[in-house]
Chains A and B, each alone.
Chain A
Amino acid sequence: MNDTIQFMPVLPEIIIASMACFILVIDLYLKDSQKMISFGLTILTLIVGLVFIVSGYGQEPQLIFNGTVVVDQLSVVTKFGIVLASLLLLIYSQQYALDRKLFGGEYFVLVLLGTVGMMVLTSSSHMLTLYMGLELLSLCMYALIAMQRDSAKASEAAMKYFVLGALASGILLYGMSLFYGLTGSLQLGEISQSLASQDKQSMPLILATIFIVVGLAFKLGAVPFHMWVPDVYHGSPTSATIFIGAAPKIAAFAMVVRLLVSGFSELQIHWGDMLSLLAIASVAVGNILAIAQTNFKRMLAYSTISHMGFFLFGIVSGNEHGYGAALFYVMVYAFMSLGAFGLLMILSSKGVEVEEIEDLKGLNQTHPWLAFLMLLVMFSMAGVPPTIGFYAKLSVIQSLVSVGYYQMAIIAVLLAVIGAYYYLRIIKTVYFEDADQKRILTPQPVATFVLSTNILAVLWLMPFVGVLIDICQKAVMVLP
């Protein structure tokens, strides 16, 4: 198309990727006691990346690298969320990783490169770029889980995730290759144009759409492709769970809308129905099975499944309002889950893993502030006003109602109420039950401060909810 290659729009990715290589080399020359240097460099890299991402806000959409990459409002907003989430998770996991001997150069480099993978994913306008970003992210996730080599649970989780993830990638690739065969292009814009003139009811097109949707559902962990989620969340060290559980959800949102909404918008009649089935099943199974869990991480895994269903509701409604609501929901969810897993890591200490709900008994007596933070996260996840989680749920349900999907809206509300039970049970355990034995923690001050700001955001962001929803709405305006 154009002769000169523009690198400036992808500067944040370039900075983070090259710093990852730099840190990889620097780290070789550092002793174990000096790992704080590479940690500091990693944090600095992500902050610089954030600054460059923000400076790109509000520019015209650009299609660069011969149509393989698009940098627009949507990619800027999602990249901001992703890089901020990576930054926060590194701060929260510092002490946890140190105690478990996971605090090394490879941990930082894998997190950084995984972040680059997510950024590539969010700004892809070509199936090749999309797949590359997805694989970069997935490989980093598998490695981060398996890094705790002495733990049989972690190895099992990594193996399970790896095998199922490879299967999902295969299915997704199969769908992509079918689309390539049917439309003659891998570029999403060209695919969209080519689909406009095709028979929407043709069998191969429907088959290809099914493959793509199944692949995406696997990656999202939507029911009935959710089997890996609880095991992986439970088995991984929490420092890896927080990486899987937060930022990739934002990237997954971007992947879904880039593929389905901007690429296959003509096929909405097909994928709309498929997604609504997935969404209802996810919200139902996630919320109901979460009630039976005694392990906090497993419970959060099921809650993830239900939240993924909720955000799919936003996409199902099929208009800009719905996509904006889904983006807002997924952003809010990512930061809530960062808060929840961050709390778990702060509560754990050397040799003590806080995982079971039982372990949280009587937290209010020993650490009232952490107990209050837990209360806020749980309220926000359950969608209790005046937390921001309430507005996220509200805007998704509004978008469902606005297009006339009343039954789905009712199902969503009912299941959200059922889901409130297990969140409230945590609060009951924290506040109204006595601890078996008192454990006094000395949480790291910086991490606690950042975590408190993160979690209190469910309250202090409330006055700005309108602005935030507006940003999300503007971001999805770029989608056709």
Chain B
Amino acid sequence: MILQLSFYLFSTVLVASAMMVVTVRNPVKAALFLVLAFFSAACIWMTLEAEFLSIVLILVYVGAVMVLFLFVVMMLDIDIARMREGFAKYLPVGIIVALGLIIELVVVLSGKAFQLASMPRPVGHDADYSNTKELGRLLYTDYVFPFEIAGLILLVAIIAAISLTLRRRNTKYQTPGNQVKVVKSDRLKIIKMKGQPGAES
């Protein structure tokens, strides 16, 4: 009962906040609603006994990706009025695409594979079952080789990102000590010149 209630609660919040993401005017608010949507999704996963995934979703998406996202959104100067300009122009195309998607969804979801009968309720695990541990066991035994290679791929990504963006610039700077030590003879050179013939002295 509580499980069902919480499912309806979280999915209502999820759908509502997802709607807000696309309808709200302010991009910062949209990003914050996206955080809420992720959070509700994580809660639903938690009720499905996928606790590892739900925590990772919060840590990675909410904690890292969305913060970056917000950061970028705040730095950008987005002109909302200009973005809304083409609304009427693109509306027909948008409606057609949306209709097409809806029809596809209906066709696929009404197929046999998605009937309730072909989706039996999965068996729940005991309280001492930890899917974090199970995932870890799988990753570090059966799939240890691809897992290690994935680590190498991340290493390559780091090396590439740093070597492509880090520039050792020849920055010009002052050394106060040297400035103080300067004497007149270092900078000033007095040259004796012959006066031009005929010029008045």
Contact = CB atoms under 8 A, between A and B. Distances in A.
Interface string B87-104: 000000000000000000
Contact of A68 (B143, B153, B162): B143
A471 B145 CA distance: 28
A120 B156 CA distance: 15
Nearest to A130: B146
B155 A147 contact: no
A314 B26 CA distance: 60
Given A143-B159, A143-B164, A146-B164, A135 B144 contact: no
Interface string A129-173: 100110110011011001101000000000000000000000000
A190 to B, nearest CB: 13
A204 B18 CA distance: 34
A106 B163 CA distance: 7
A132 B149 contact: yes
A129 B163 contact: no
Contact of B160 (A5, A17, A117, A139): A139
> Among A68, A106, A109, A132, which residue has the most Cβ atoms of chain B within 10 A?
A132
B156 A136 contact: yes
B152 interface: yes
B152 A113 contact: yes
Contacts of B149: 117, 120, 129, 132-133, 136
B157 A149 contact: no
B164 A66 contact: no
Given A10-B145, A129-B145, A132-B150, A139 B157 contact: yes
A135 B145 contact: no
A469 interface: no
A10 B149 CA distance: 12
A139 B153 contact: yes
Contacts of B156: 110, 113, 136, 139-140, 143
Contacts of B153: 132, 135-136, 139
Interface residues of B, number: 19
B160 to A, nearest CB: 3
B186 interface: no
A178 interface: no
A10 B145 CA distance: 10
B185 to A, nearest CB: 35
Interface of A, secondary structure class, is helix
B52 to A, nearest CB: 19
A68 B160 contact: no
A11 to B, nearest CB: 13
Size bin of chain A's contact surface? 20 to 34
A116 interface: yes
Contacts of B160: 106, 110, 139-140, 142-143, 146
B142 interface: yes
A24 B163 contact: no
Interface string B132-147: 0000000001111110
Contacts, number: 69
A140 B152 CA distance: 11
A106 B159 contact: yes
Contacts of A113: 152, 155-156, 159
A104 B150 CA distance: 24
Contacts of B144: 5, 65
A117 B155 CA distance: 12
A21 interface: yes
Nearest to A155: B164
A68 B145 contact: yes
A419 to B, nearest CB: 36
A68 B143 CA distance: 7
A470 B130 CA distance: 53
Contacts of A117: 149, 152
B112 to A, nearest CB: 16
A113 B157 CA distance: 11
A133 B148 CA distance: 11
A219 interface: no
Contacts of A128: 143, 146
Nearest to B145: A65
A368 B105 CA distance: 70
A142 B159 CA distance: 12
Interface in A86-108: 104, 106
Contact of A132 (B142, B146, B155, B167): B146
A68 B146 contact: yes
B37 to A, nearest CB: 25
B146 A147 contact: no
A126 interface: yes
28 contacts: A5-B144, A10-B145, A17-B152, A65-B145, A66-B142, A68-B145, A69-B145, A104-B163, A106-B159, A109-B159, A110-B156, A110-B159, A113-B155, A113-B159, A116-B152, A117-B149, A117-B152, A120-B149, A129-B146, A129-B149, A132-B153, A139-B153, A139-B156, A139-B157, A143-B163, A146-B160, A147-B164, A149-B164
Given A139-B153, A146-B160, 8 more contacts: A68-B142, A68-B145, A106-B163, A110-B160, A116-B152, A133-B149, A136-B152, A143-B160
Instruction: Please give me the 5 A-B residue pairs with the lowest Cβ-Cβ distance, nearest first.
Output: A143-B160, A132-B149, A106-B163, A65-B145, A66-B142
